[in-house]
Amino acid sequence: MLKFLIAIIVFLSIVMINLFKDGNNICDIDDDVYIQREFIKNRPHKPLYQPSANRKFIYLSFDDGPLNGSQNVNSLSLKYKAYMSVFIVGEHLLISNNYKRYLNNYIQNPFIEVSNHSYSHANNQYSKFYSNPKGVLEDFNKSMNLLGLDNKIIRLPGRNIWAFDNRTQNISKTKDTVNLLTNNGFKLIGWDIEWRYDPITKKPIGTAQEFFKKLVKRIKHNQELVTPSNIVVLLHDPMFRKKCKAKELENLITLIKANKNYVLVPLSRYPII
């Protein structure tokens, strides 16, 4: 009799655990099934979760690495299992062995998707750079080969330009360049909101709490978003080189993760319509 009772209790416990699990999976981005690099190679273009009225997708994207600060971005991504996208400048690998190490850490991190931000970063002379479409294509190809990338998601230096999925934004002044890049299979992703930084100290302007407030306002009301319920956030690696500022990034991640309707997603999952 006792054995029978124990068997019933074990059976009911298993049923309860499974019920609880299913309920939790509805909006849990960190399911083991996604902890793999397949999402980069296969490019399924499917949303990770069915859209629902309250669910919002947030894409944290970091430009200009590897630089001092990339190591903190990488370790916070691992600590919080937070999906992020990083746009790498090929030329930075020539500066120091540390930067090569930071890039390798990014590549090995299953929560980070590495993409191309050009080889030269236009040498910060943007008008000259974009007046030579072939040169721009060569610059991106050079970086892609150097980094050994298997995706063609790119971000243009110094320009918030979108061109993918037959949708474009802000392309008027660089039409020839954009056409050449998209004809060569590149997908150009800009951003919806930027956490700005001081150009001299590189420190982020305002606290994580203040930036999060702006982000929530934008996404809640779908204000000026390229795709409703999806917001691409621009950040830069050097903003977080100091420990106290890396703490601000940590605060931003925890604020986002505290709301179960906010889902951190890599850019390869940006919806194709």
Q: Which stretch binds Zn ion (CB under 5 A): 41-49, 155-163, 166-174, 249-257?
A: 155-163
For Zn ion, the closer CB: 92 or 269: 92
Residue 81 sits at φ, ψ, to 5 deg, of 50, 50
Which residues are bridge partners to 62 per DSSP? Answer: 86, 235
Q: Which stretch binds Zn ion (CB under 5 A): 34-42, 62-70, 128-136, 210-218?
A: 62-70
Q: List all residues 6 or more positions away from 127 whose beta carbon is below 8 Å from its beta carbon.
A: none
By CB under 5 A, residue 64 contacts Zn ion: yes
Binder to Zn ion among 65, 157, 204, 266 (CB under 5 A)? 157
Contact between 118 and 92 under an 8 Å Cβ cutoff? The reply is no
Binding mask 21-60 for Zn ion (x = CB under 5 A): ----------------------------------------
Contact between 120 and 128 under an 8 Å Cβ cutoff? The reply is no
Q: How far is the CB of 163 from Zn ion (least distance, A)?
A: 17
By CB under 5 A, residue 63 contacts Zn ion: yes
By CB under 5 A, residue 250 contacts Zn ion: no
Q: How far is the CB of 140 from Zn ion (least distance, A)?
A: 13
Q: List all residues 6 or more positions away from 27 whose beta carbon is below 8 Å from its beta carbon.
A: 49, 55, 260, 261, 263
Q: Is 172 exposed, middle or buried (0-12, 13-18, 19+ CB in 10 A)?
A: exposed
For Zn ion, the closer CB: 47 or 158: 158
Binding footprint of Zn ion on the chain (CB under 5 A): 63-64, 157
